[in-house]
Amino acid sequence: MAEELIQVDLKGKEGAIRVRSKVSLWLKRGIPLLILAILALLPVFQIVEGTLNYWIHMLMYVFLYVIMSSSWNIIGGFAGYVSLGHNVFFALGAYFAGMLFLATRISPFISAPVAGLLAMGFGLLFGLIALRTRGSTFIISTIALVLLMAELFDNWKLTGGTNGLALPLIDLPGQFAKIPYYYYLLVVMVLCVVASYFIKHSKFGLALRAISQDETKAEVAGIPTRKYKILAFGLSGLFIGVAGAVWGSYLTYLRPSIFLTVSLGTSIVLNTILGGKGTIAGPVVGTAIMIAVNEFVVAKLGATELNIVVTGLILIFVLLFFPEGIVGSLKARNKLPSFLDWD
């Protein structure tokens, strides 16, 4: 009788474990898919009501920075090489698609993938040179790249110099004008996050993490560290170039001071560190929090230097209590909600 009761108890526990496992799996997959479905349906309400222009714009801004932060995470999070110059890929994508449109009338929506490949190719070439260095020397080289490209674009007639390039508005009523850009950036963001996941869980991603931990040991173990670093740097520019092409068309005006500032490159890095570099969900969480806080501060206190103060306080708080970023630290403490456990 006692043995039967024990068996029943064990079966009951196994059943409870299976139920909890199914619930956890549903939360892990269901909530992100639900959020994605809501994001996909939001423009429908804009078409019907015409009152969601602000939210459409802000979400596009989030999509843009998630793309850039997740892309940076490939080289900065997985491989451990901190670059402050990834906004160069952003500028290359925007200027390539904009100049091509003015010359041939090929829509940036069509040329954006080519702009991404161009940015990737540039990343591979720059990586051949810059990735001979490490640490602070590499960081300085990426900052120098931003300053060099800003000077080049400021004085190049084809890019319009300091006057910039004016692009025509999309031929749609104001109520619908943002929607094509919204969906394009949403799709690119999803592809970027998914690609980041597959890279991390590939042999290539494992090699990048080995490089991040100890590059010398990784090289001794037979990993072609130089080749993998260069490839990671190039891949990290691919989606940023695509996003740049779309965003430049959305702005309808291209100027070096919009794309080629050290502060923009720094923002990409800070978003990832806040959320948790080296994680898949980290760049998404960090970007959403940073943009929401900045927008709140601007709405309540105006566009002043207080933005910088609040950003600094947030980063100090995160570094004190979440040294591996929000997602990374919660995961290490086994307190990460299952719907954010994308790794």
Is residue 29's pLDDT more than 90? no
pLDDT at 14: 55
> Which helix or strand (DSSP H or E) is residue 290 part of?
helix 282-301
Judged by DSSP in three states, 131 sits in: coil
Proportion of the chain above pLDDT 70, given as a percent: 90
Is the confidence at residue 12, as pLDDT, over 60? no
* Burial of residue 122 (number of CB atoms within 10 Å: 0-12, 13-18, 19+): buried
- Over range 312-316, report the average pLDDT: 82
Is 225 a residue whose pLDDT tops 70? yes
**Predicted TM-score (pTM) of this structure:** 0.91
Express each pLDDT in 293-306 by its tens digit.
Answer: 888 888 777 666 67
DSSP secondary structure letter of residue 157: G
Given pLDDT bands bounded at 50, 70 and 90, which one contains residue 25? low
Distance separating alpha carbons of residues 327 and 279, to the nearest angstrom: 7
The rounded distance, in Å, linking the Cα atoms of 191 and 194 is 5
Question: Model confidence at 171, in pLDDT bands (50, 70, 90)?
Answer: confident
Instruction: Convert the pLDDT of each residue in 88-132 to its tens digit.
Output: 999 999 999 999 999 999 999 999 999 999 999 999 999 999 999
Q: What is the pLDDT of residue 8?
A: 47
Helices (H) and strands (E) in the chain, counts: 14, 2
Q: Tell me what the pLDDT averaged over the chain comes to.
A: 88
Residues 253, 256, 258, CA angle at the centre, nearest 5°? 65
